[in-house]
Amino acid sequence: MRPPVLAALAMLLAACGPDFELQSEIRRVRVLAIQTEPAELVLDPNGSTLPGPVTFNALAVSADERPVTVSYSLCRFSTNPYDGRCPGENGVPLPDGVLSLQDPTVQAVLTEVLQGNNPGGGTPDPNDPALAEALAEGIPLFIGYEATDGSGTPEGYERGVRTVTLRSASVPNRNPVVSDILWEGAPLAGPLPLFREVTFQPVLAEGSAEVYETEEGPRTEQVFYSWFATGDGEVKEFRSLEPVDDEPGDPTSKYETSSEPQRVTFWVVARDGRGGVGWLSRTVDVGP
């Protein structure tokens, strides 16, 4: 006979199983990715002017296709960005999702960031070797966001924190571009067969996997993917990875379609591991 504690645990897991939300599922408002354009805030070591503005664009979705609004704030350096107060009292609002170095409040936060990475304290000295090294490696800036579909329900709201890199470089990183999703070697258009496992393959635009310099020499970005879908089917591989240089990988993802006809939206998000983000969506029918 099964011990009472184990029996109760089994019943609890059985009750919760069908409602467990997979990472790939869209059952509520979700921010699947936030892209910055350009991909990082770059200070040109040989330049004499401030970099231009950085614009934030969220891949924010909902299960019922209700429009989602996203607002952003630059989190203050002297606080914990994950304490739930950015956006809020510990954040500097970024109107229209734009971080501009012409904004005095943004300048104040960046000054705090540079001071925090300047061992000597006081006014940040760009000639200080330690600060120069930190900028060459990249200093994270924390961006708080709020996403809502206006419904006022817990499922219609999400907040969180993402990062953008402040870096000293003459060649900035660029966002990868996903140009297509293939099914059986052709662009995904549907209809997909019912209750069948199918395989999708993302297609990167030329130049999306960039070559960059490291202490060990030049390396090529190894782009990885996250897969999402609405509907009743199941994404079998939430993550996939491009092979590059001597690193193995398989960019494809398997998906099991539903047993009933429905219209499904798929998203694939590409990340280059250096702050660059891109995505593509396709909406297709499953079944006749």
Instruction: Write the pLDDT tens digit of every residue in 8-40.
Output: 444 434 444 445 689 999 999 999 999 999 999
What's the pTM value of the predicted model, to 2 decimals? 0.90
**Residues of the chain above pLDDT 90, percent:** 78
Sign of CA pseudo-dihedral 99, 100, 106, 110: positive
The residue whose two tokens read 């994270």 is 140
Pick from 157, 160, 166, 158: nearest CA to 136: 166
Average pLDDT over residues 239-255: 96
- pLDDT given for residue 121 in this prediction: 61
CATH, domain range 174-286: 2.60.40.2410
pLDDT tens digits for 267-287?
999 999 999 999 999 999 999
Q: Are 73 and 154 in contact (CB under 8 A)?
A: no
- pLDDT given for residue 12 in this prediction: 39
More confident residue, 119 or 27: 27
Average pLDDT over residues 199-220: 95
Distance CA 236, CA 229 (A): 11
Domain ranges in the chain with CATH number 2.60.40.2410: 174-286
Average pLDDT over residues 68-80: 96
Radius of gyration of the CA atoms of the chain, in A: 22
- pLDDT given for residue 116 in this prediction: 87
Q: Are 56 and 97 in contact (CB under 8 A)?
A: yes
Would you state the torsion angle of the CA atoms of residues 158, 160, 166, 172, taken in this order, to the nearest 10 degrees?
Answer: -40
pLDDT tens digits for 123-165?
777 778 888 889 999 999 999 999 999 999 999 999 999 999 9
- pLDDT given for residue 5 in this prediction: 47
Q: Which two tokens stand for residue 43?
A: 């200070």
CATH, domain range 24-168: 2.60.40
